[in-house]
Amino acid sequence: MEDLKLIVAPSPHVRDTDSTEKIMLTVLIALLPVLGASIYLFRWDAVRLVLLSAAAAVATEAIFQRFRNKPISIGDGSALVTGVLLGLIVPPSLPSWMVILGSAFAIAIGKQVFGGLGQNPFNPALVGRAFLTASFASAMTSWTAPFDAVSTATPLVLGAARSNLPNLFFGAVAGSLGETSALAILVGGIYLFYKGALDYRIPVGILGTVVVMSLITGQDPVFHLLAGSVLFGAVFMATDPVTSPVTVRGRWIFGIGVGLIIMLIRVWGSYPDGVTFAILLMNAVTPLLNRWTRPRIYGQGVKANE
Amino acid sequence: MRRVKSFFGGIYPDDSKKSTAEAPIEVLQAPQTLVVSLLQHAGGEATPVVTKGDEILKGQLLAQANGAVSAPIHSPVSGTVVAIEPRAHACGSSVTAIVIENNGEDNWVEKNGHPDPVQLDAATIRQRIQEAGIVGMGGGGFPTALKLNPPKNTTIDYLIINGCECEPYLTADHRLMVEYPEEIILGAKLMAKASGAKRIIIGVEDNKPDAYEALKGHAGAIDVVSLPTKYPEGGEKQLIQALTGREVPSSGLPFQAGAIVQNVATAWAVAKALRDGEPSITRVVTVTGKPVVEPKNLLVSIGTPIENLLEAAGGFNGAVGKVVIGGPMMGGAQFNLEAPICKTLSGVVAFREEESATPAVLPCIKCARCVDVCPANLLPLRLEAFGMNEMWDEAQDYGALDCIECGCCTYICPSKRPLLQYIRLAKQEIIAKQKKPS
């Protein structure tokens, strides 16, 4: 027992085996079915846009941190996740330089200027998409049909009556690369939930509200669930932990709020979809939701037994 | 089996109890030299009543309680007092201890037992518990007699006997329940009488079915409840919530929820004190961890240095990184093996070098796992940020003082952030500020 060099550290002395890197990897794995579906549907455009977006995001993060003399943290996988997510939410025909620019913007302005991982108030991938939509409105709304890349309109523009629900479910419709196949998104979402990397309250809040609002406004709820970015946004975007509330009640309110704004924009607004702005708006109120929905602490407000 | 409510949050760590769960309690011979600390309880250091050179008997009073919150200390062996001086203590600093040279003869003082102690009246039971130096053996170290004597006009609906042992690795309470159920039940009955509690409930986590059955076999009318295995099920406030649905008021004490919680080892010590007339001079300690050659449950004399326990367990195999006294969730890491066993210490857990490294810390991604697991229903990530930024008022407003320091937040954090450390810092600063007149 001689010559022991013991480490003194505060308790607890055991830690969970999960890590932030593993969570990022889990998200990437959950995106594989979506990626597969988008490659199947949109062929080389999917490969081109997702790869360029991912590479640009990682490179931007590294360059930004290099110039700020900060440790380069691309190994945590968060920039890669942002890049892949952005690549999956742009139209298949988007020019390569645009997705590179959008991805660089997402990381630089959407994330790094706030201090990097964990500090950004808005979902970086959606910041990138909003930037691209505002800058290149026509390229961001030019849609092509799957398989043959012929120009066409999205189901949201066509409307429920002229859309084929099985096609919407499997994804054989025009739309952003990763957003058309509801099936692939659901598979990824179930995997995320199973791995404990997804809080069900946010997607359930969003999808439930979309259904209720569709019924109230006399629209087809199934169509609204399957068309556009609703499913992808509910599963992969709104659930970004950094930009969503930390409390249970906050998450319900967040999800319901996103669902409400989506339907407000879709029914009365001038954008056909509205998911991007709905999530970004709710990101903006997340700090307030955290403050307003603090849980009741054990023993507070409890009277002594007499 | 009746359905039990649970408590807020909690975690499910690997319980790592296999290597000692089946190991019967072995008696460890008291060593040649014992270091009996004067601080083995919550409150003031006990005051020595012996001096250097005194010949003493086993069970003889060495030090008396110093103030209302304190406890007397007795000699675990017969022998000679060779020193009264500061010695290593499990808390990390030095505390005055009475050092005893063991003469190996085990000459007892006259024991004042009672064949049927339940016949004694409440005040006498409390007095004997106090005189025997019994304190909360689950780790809290609060003097048991004091806990059994709540303020007048308080109704105690429940005496809860805590057999959860929710800390990973530890099996000392588990073995005690399997091997000494009769004593635990007797201790529970004595404490119920002493406190006037209307009901006794014994809570056992469901990873110890043999302990549950053993207690059930002797329980009679006493309620033995199997609880889901979840840390910190054995936290005083959490156990009250799980078993009674009640909460202890913020900054209050359990009696305000009509409950008193006592550990199974305390109940065992109470039975030994009142029936056999033996003061609190031994306890069961689990010696375990991957580097320990032969993990064991040992019945140890108070004052035995942990080095002796580790030797009895065959010593180490391979590089050791950390040695923790207590459980791995709340215990203290030692810088050497000199600290002696106190009444409150139920485990010595060693970790391999590779298990002991402090992980690299990443930024908080606000995943809120710490929020989900916090049994006090706090927002640990906010408290950590307040602690880092020295925002003590905000930390207080967010309930830092309601933190029970269970460590669930730090355990679960995927970014490996030291949340509890910053919350402890905030608590210290808030308490220091409250004490300072402004």
The answer to whether position B51 is within a domain reads no
Residue contact B379–A247, C-beta within 8 A: yes
Q: Which residues of A touch B321 (CB under 8 A)?
A: 6-7
Per-residue pLDDT of chain B (438 residues; tens, 9 = 90+): 444 568 899 999 999 999 999 999 999 999 999 999 999 999 889 999 999 999 999 999 999 999 889 999 999 999 999 999 999 998 888 999 999 999 999 999 999 899 999 999 999 999 999 999 999 999 889 999 999 999 988 899 999 999 999 999 999 999 999 999 999 999 999 999 999 999 999 999 999 999 999 999 999 889 999 999 999 999 999 999 999 999 999 989 999 999 999 999 999 999 999 999 999 999 999 999 999 999 999 999 999 999 999 999 999 998 999 999 999 999 999 998 999 999 999 999 999 999 998 899 999 999 999 999 999 999 999 999 999 999 999 999 999 999 999 999 999 999 999 999 999 999 999 999 988 776
The answer to whether position B101 is within a domain reads no
Q: Which residues of B touch A295 (CB under 8 A)?
A: 371, 377-379
Chains A, B: CB pairs < 8 Å: 186
Q: Which residues of A touch B336 (CB under 8 A)?
A: 4, 6
The SS3 of residue B94 is: strand
DSSP codes of every residue in A216-274: HTT--HHHHHHSTTHHHIIIIITT-GGGS-SSHHHHHHHHHHHHHHHHHHHHHSSSS--
Q: Which residues of B touch A20 (CB under 8 A)?
A: 362, 365, 414-415
Residue of chain B with shortest Cα separation from A118: B365
The answer to whether position A60 is within a domain reads yes
The answer to whether position A4 is within a domain reads no
Asked if B159 and B199 sit in the same domain, the reply is: yes
The answer to whether position A258 is within a domain reads yes
The answer to whether position A305 is within a domain reads no
Asked if B152 and B246 sit in the same domain, the reply is: yes
Asked if B311 and B377 sit in the same domain, the reply is: no
Find the CB nearest A15 among B315, B378, B411: B411
Place of tokens 């002229």: A162
- The count of domains in chain A is 1
The answer to whether position B362 is within a domain reads no
Residue B1, pLDDT score = 42
Find the CB nearest A246 among B251, B328, B368: B368
The answer to whether position A2 is within a domain reads no
Interface mutation vs chain B, best among A239, A298, A300, A303, most B CBs within 10 Å: A298
CATH value at residue A166: 1.10.3430
The answer to whether position B92 is within a domain reads no
Asked if B247 and B303 sit in the same domain, the reply is: yes
Asked if B293 and B391 sit in the same domain, the reply is: no
Smallest Cα–Cα separation from B231: which of A100, A103, A16, A31? A16
CATH value at residue B323: 3.40.50.11540
Residue B92 DSSP one-character state: S
Domain of A247, in residue numbers: 20-291
The answer to whether position B11 is within a domain reads no
The answer to whether position B428 is within a domain reads yes
In the predicted structure, residue A143 carries a pLDDT above the cut 90: no
The answer to whether position A302 is within a domain reads no
- The count of domains in chain B is 2
Residue B81 CA to residue B64 CA, distance in Å, equals: 16
The answer to whether position B77 is within a domain reads no
Chosen domain end from B296, B322, B357:
B357
Asked if B203 and B326 sit in the same domain, the reply is: yes
DSSP codes of every residue in B110-134: PP---SSGGGS-HHHHHHHHHHTT-
Asked if B237 and B261 sit in the same domain, the reply is: yes
Chosen domain end from B357, B378, B398:
B357
Domain of B295, in residue numbers: 18-25+111-357
Asked if B331 and B373 sit in the same domain, the reply is: no
The answer to whether position A5 is within a domain reads no
Asked if B169 and B234 sit in the same domain, the reply is: yes
Find the CB nearest A7 among B333, B407, B414: B333
Residue contact B379–A20, C-beta within 8 A: no
> Between β-strands B296-301 and B26-27, what pairing exists: parallel, antiparallel or unpaired?
parallel
| Contact in structure between B236 and B224 (CB atoms under 8 Å) | no
Asked if B280 and B326 sit in the same domain, the reply is: yes
Q: Which residues of B touch A297 (CB under 8 A)?
A: 250, 376-378, 399, 402
Residue contact B410–A19, C-beta within 8 A: no
Asked if B306 and B416 sit in the same domain, the reply is: no
Q: What is the pTM of this model?
A: 0.93
Q: Which residues of A touch B255 (CB under 8 A)?
A: 305
Q: What is the pLDDT of residues A31-83, one digit of tens each?
A: 999 999 999 999 899 999 999 999 999 999 999 999 999 999 999 999 999 99
The answer to whether position B31 is within a domain reads no
Q: What is the pLDDT of residues A19-45, one digit of tens each?
A: 999 999 999 999 999 999 999 999 899
Asked if B305 and B416 sit in the same domain, the reply is: no
